[in-house]
Amino acid sequence: AQTVTQSQPEMSVQEAETVTLSCTYDTSESDYYLFWYKQPPSRQMILVIRQEAYKQQNATENRFSVNFQKAAKSFSLKISDSQLGDAAMYFCAYRSPQETSGSRLTFGEGTQLTVNP
């Protein structure tokens, strides 16, 4: 079974600065998908960014980018020019590509990000 680990329960960053959230995972599959979801105080789960394991290029979405290291099974999220609205719990998630047995998302424990003005 796949596991996802986020070793930083809490992180903080100054507004306008850059912060990196860590995520590692364990899998025997060679192809898979990785996601970062954001959960603000409203507790809605919002997709931030996704990465396909077969792609070597790191995904980017505006101020959000990932550092995907397949050999190290590492998938970190970098937030540039941090804004107050970025304050939230961030979850890393893994998904198998298998059609029938891989529909579930496996989540990490989450990292609570605080943005200081």
Binding site for another protein (CB under 8 A): 31-33, 35, 37, 42-47, 50, 52, 91, 93, 95-110
Which residue reads 């919002």 in tokens?
A: 46
Which residues does 36 contact at the CB level (< 8 Å), separation at least 6?
A: 21, 23, 47, 48, 49, 50, 64, 66, 75, 77, 90, 91, 92, 93
- In the complex with another protein, the residue whose CB is nearer, 16 or 46, is 46
Which of 25/91 has CB closer to another protein?
91
CA angle 48, 45, 32 (to 5 degrees): 55
* Minimal distance, residue 68 CB to another protein, in Å: 15
Q: Which is nearer to another protein, 82 or 88 (CB)?
A: 88
CB of 71 to another protein, least distance (A): 20
46 close to 35: Cβ distance less than 8 angstroms: no
Cα 2–Cα 77–Cα 1 angle in degrees, nearest 5 = 0
Residue 35 or 68: which CB sits closer to another protein?
35
Least distance CB 117 / another protein (angstroms)? 26
Least Cβ distance, residue 108 to another protein (angstroms): 7
Tokens of residue 52, six digits: 């396909």
